[in-house]
Every structure is written in structure tokens, then in C-alpha cells.
Structure 1
Amino acid sequence: MESLPHCETLLLKKQGPTLFITINRPDVRNAMSLQMVAELATIFSQIESDLHIRAVVIRGADGHFCAGGDIKDMAGARSQKAAEGEADPFYRLNRAFGQMIQQVNESSKVVIAVTEGAVMGGGFGLACVSDMAIAGPTAKFGMPETSLGVIPAQIAPFVVERIGLTQARRLALLGLRIGAEEARTLGIVHQAAGSDQELDEMLDHALERVRQCAPVATAETKALLHRVGHEAMSGLLDSAAEKFAEAIRGSEGAEGTMAFMQKRPPAWAGDSE
């Protein structure tokens, strides 16, 4: 990505092989608007083929990750009437978010969510599609939709994939709010920091580990993991063996093998572009 696009709801910063995305609507605890959904979708589309970006860090401004859907957008959709032959405005609003969160889920990049403060509704869903999630001491997670008379339509399937059906049922059907430690126990996040300093250290360590792993091999591995459970195992393993052969004969496989033999870091470990 040669230049970062201008966004009204996001702050973007590229540092080495990492793109930092800060959700920047602090006046509404970073609630997710239609514009934010569109901007996130645009960013992830743009970076998909950019091999210089290997990790994406998503966090929220001013101590909150994301408090869920924007009430103003909901009110706007309520005031609209679907034209003949067009989908319901609420359907379009909800489905646009689902398409974006699926895009983040399937991104070839390593997506890291740094969660603090409110991690609710759509924000909770976004955390659940990250490859790694870290919680700060103030983080509160929840699926409050049923307590508001609506349903977690687009996030529920991803929550089930993240933590399993039985725990997703408990959170969704009781509209619970839980803290960072319980979120870690359930597997919503992988690590829970006891302080802001520890949170930053955990993030730095994760990004250093990403740097040690070959970018194409990482992307292929993520794609393979997403196929598990959706295809017959024998066919999946046949395909995986083909991918393995391509990888080991490819430039990354050759470099990784040579670096191991020569007891030196592989070329991608020093990638700062």
C-alpha cells in the first residue's frame, strides 16, 4: 500500500510490516457506524495483496475498543422505507457489517485486537475474528443485543466458532457482560494484561513473533485453518500436501531451510519495509 487513505472514523499508521488501525469515534465509545464499516472494508481490501503489510493491529481511541452499533444509524434506517424491489434498510445495515467482519476474519494478514473498555456487540464480534486478542485491565465484553430486543445476527456465528456453542449460548441468551479474565478463560482473548504497560509488552512480543514467521507461509496457514470443518478431511489433507510441496520448493522454504542450516535469522525476520 503506497499511501494510506484518508478515513474519517479511523486513524491509520504504518510502522514496519504492521498497520495500526485505531477506531476513532471516542465521543460514542467508538460505536460502529456504517461509514466505519465501509472504511474498514476498504482498508482490508487494499492491503490484501500488499506483502509489505504482515500484521494489522486494531484498537480503539481513548480507552474503549468498540461499544457496538451506532444508534444514529439505527434510527436513520428506521426512518427509511424500502423502495419496491429493494432490501429492508435494516437488512442492508446489518448485512454490510457481516460482510466486513467476514472479510477481517478471512484476511491473509495476522489480525491482532487490543481490547480495552467497552467491547460490545459489533466490537465483540470484531475481537472474535482476530487471530490474536489481548485484553487490557478495563476491558468489558458482552453481547447485549437480546437485552435491547434485537439479535446478534452477524456476530453469533463467529462467536460460536471462537468459543463453542455452549458458552456462546450463555453469553448471548443472558446478555452477559464479562471482564478480561473470564474472557481469557473462555478463549475470547488469548492474553489478559494486568496493566497498560503489560498490554503494550504483550503486543510488542506478538508483533515480534509475526516478524519471525514467513509472510506467504503465514497467509497459507491461516487459509488452511479456515478450511477445517468445512471440507472432507481426506481432500483437505491432499490439498494441504500440495501446498506444503509448493512452500518447501518456493523461495520462503529455501530461505528458511538455508537460514536454519546457517544458524542465522531468515530474511523476513528483518523486514522493516
Structure 2
Amino acid sequence: MLPVSNHYELEQTESWLTVWLNEPQARNPLTAARVSDLLTLCAALQGSDLRGVVFRGRGGVFCAGGDLKAFQAVMQGKAGHADVVALSLQAADLFDAVSGLPQFTVMAVEGAAMAGGLGLACCGDMVLAEETARFALSEVRLGLTPAQIAPFVVARLGMRAARRLMLSGESVSGATAREIGLVDRLLAVGGMDAALSDLPRALAPAAPCALAAIKRQLSELPFQSRDEQRAVAAESFATALLSAEAREGIGAYLEKRKPLWAEG
């Protein structure tokens, strides 16, 4: 049973879950309460048999990032340095948790993905965006820094494009976001529902345990020496090859049938 919250809405279709950010009147900000509840949800998803998770925003807007009203309260002396550090680390926990989900994660961007919202998009395995979507790392224009999202933006875009967006704060179109590698598929306006409905079938052949293991390996690679990479890869491959999932997958291939996880 997944946790319910006033700060998001859940829709499940068979083995896929859509997580709706549900405060469109404020452009679906990452408030402290929303971040906390999303962390609880991500923890529950670690033990789930769901195959995919979609993050999407209500009201035709993905996510405007941090809660500027809360930031203003901080500037008015209602929080100290340690409080701000804790707030930033909570955001880091969320980006780590979303990036570390064992399911295939899709960011469905309609409207704006700004600041932390763009960072959240960079935590996904696939980013879909309508052609009218806008993206910006606007922190520098507010006197702030991208801080906790920087590693995820760099990992997705590379240093060159990430530097330009972070240092300029410029807003880019969906087409430009596609060119620089932020967006995987650019969709016509109104095409998001159809694109999302096709994904479960397209990704059904991916073995769930193997997918999760690949995601773990990729997340750890930048922090490992070459010797560590070799050792971890060998352990991962041995575990996979001797698993029931691999027996089923290789058997299905040799018998020219679908593996059990791809049926349905």
C-alpha cells in the first residue's frame, strides 16, 4: 500500500504509477511538506513491484522548483543558517531518492520546469516534453545557486550545457532542450497522454531486476576507481546470470517466446 498525501496524487494503471504534483495555482512548487511526503513515497516504492513511475504536474505545468515564499520567510529572519542547510539537504535527499528508484522513471513535462523542477526532470530515466515547454535554471537571476541539483544537471547535460544554463539563467524552449539532451522526446501539444500510454508496452521486455541493477551500477560509476568498477560489475553480472530472472529470460529467448515479465 503506497502512502497517500495532500501534496501529490497517485494514479495506477496496472504496473505503472503516475505521481501528480497537485498545486498548479502555485506552479507545483517543491515545498518542504511536499518534499517530505515525496521522500516517504520513494521509500515505499523501493519495495514495490511496480515497473514504471511517471512524474507529472497538474494544471499543465510540471514544477517551478523551490518554494519562494518559504525562502522569503528565511530572509525575514524566521530561520537561521542551520535551518537552511537542513532544508537544502532535504532537497538533496529527494533528488537522490528519485534518481535511485528501482523502477523506470519518466518525467512528463508540460509547461514550465524551472530551477528545482528542471533538476527533478534530470533525475528521471526519460524526459518527455511538449514542444511548448520551457526550461530554466533561474536561481542565478534570484541571487541563488542551483546547489543540490547541479550534479544531476551535469550528469544529464554534460558540463558545457549545464554551465551555460546555470550561469545565464536563460529560459530555453522544448526544442532547444531536446538539442542539448535534456529532453528525450519532444511531443506536440496535447500529445503527452498518448506518449505515456505507449510506454508500458514498449518497456515491457525490460527485466525488472536487471533494470534496477543497471540503474544502481550507473549511479555508482562516477565514484568508483577502475578496479572498483571491474569488481562491482563482475558481482552484478554473476548475481544476474545466476538469478531466476535470467533463467527465464534466456530460456524464453532460446524457446522463441516472451519472458513472463513481458506478458500481459
Query: Shorter-chain-normalised TM-score: which range?
Result: over 0.9
The percentage of aligned residue pairs carrying the same residue is 34
1:66-215 map, 5 Å: 66-78=63-75, 79-82=77-80, 88-197=82-191, 199-215=192-208
Runs of 4+ in 1 over 4 A off after TM superposition: none
Residue range with higher mean Cα deviation, 143-152 or 92-101: 92-101
Preserved CA contact (<8 Å) 2:3 2:40: no
TM-score of the aligned structures, taking structure 2 as reference length: 0.94
3-state SS of 1:114 partner:
strand
C-alpha RMSD over aligned residues: 1.5
Q: Deviations over 1:132-177 (max 9, x none)?
A: 1001122100001111111111111211111111111111111110
3-state SS of 1:124 partner:
helix
Provide closer, same or farther for how the CA distance between residues 139 and 248 of structure 1 changes in structure 2, counting only shifts above 3 A.
same
Query: How many residues end up aligned between the 2 structures?
Result: 263
3-state SS of 2:117 partner:
helix
Q: Deviations over 1:77-103 (max 9, x none)?
A: 334244xxxx52222222211111111
Provide the rounded CA distance (Å) in 2 between the counterparts of 1:205 and 1:270: 15
* Aligned partner letter, 1:258: G
State the 1:264 CA deviation.
1.3
Preserved CA contact (<8 Å) 2:73 2:79: no
Provide closer, same or farther for how the CA distance between residues 243 and 36 of structure 1 changes in structure 2, counting only shifts above 3 A.
same
Provide closer, same or farther for how the CA distance between residues 123 and 81 of structure 1 changes in structure 2, counting only shifts above 3 A.
closer
Preserved CA contact (<8 Å) 1:80 1:89: no
Q: Deviations over 1:203-257 (max 9, x none)?
A: 2333323321111111001111112232122331232122212212211001001
3-state SS of 1:160 partner:
helix
* Aligned partner letter, 1:60: G
3-state SS of 2:204 partner:
helix
3-state SS of 1:202 partner:
helix
State the 1:268 CA deviation.
0.6
1:246 aligns to what?
239
Provide closer, same or farther for how the CA distance between residues 235 and 71 of structure 1 changes in structure 2, counting only shifts above 3 A.
closer
* Aligned partner letter, 2:13: Q
1:45 aligns to what?
43
Provide the rounded CA distance (Å) in 1 between the counterparts of 2:204 and 2:15: 8
* Aligned partner letter, 2:238: A
Provide the rounded CA distance (Å) in 2 between the counterparts of 1:29 and 1:262: 51
TM-score of the aligned structures, taking structure 1 as reference length: 0.91
Preserved CA contact (<8 Å) 1:68 1:124: yes
* Aligned partner letter, 2:67: D
1:60 aligns to what?
57
Preserved CA contact (<8 Å) 2:109 2:129: yes
Q: Is residue 23 of structure 1 aligned with residue 12 of structure 2?
A: no
Q: Is residue 229 of structure 1 aligned with residue 227 of structure 2?
A: no
Provide the rounded CA distance (Å) in 2 between the counterparts of 1:35 and 1:220: 31
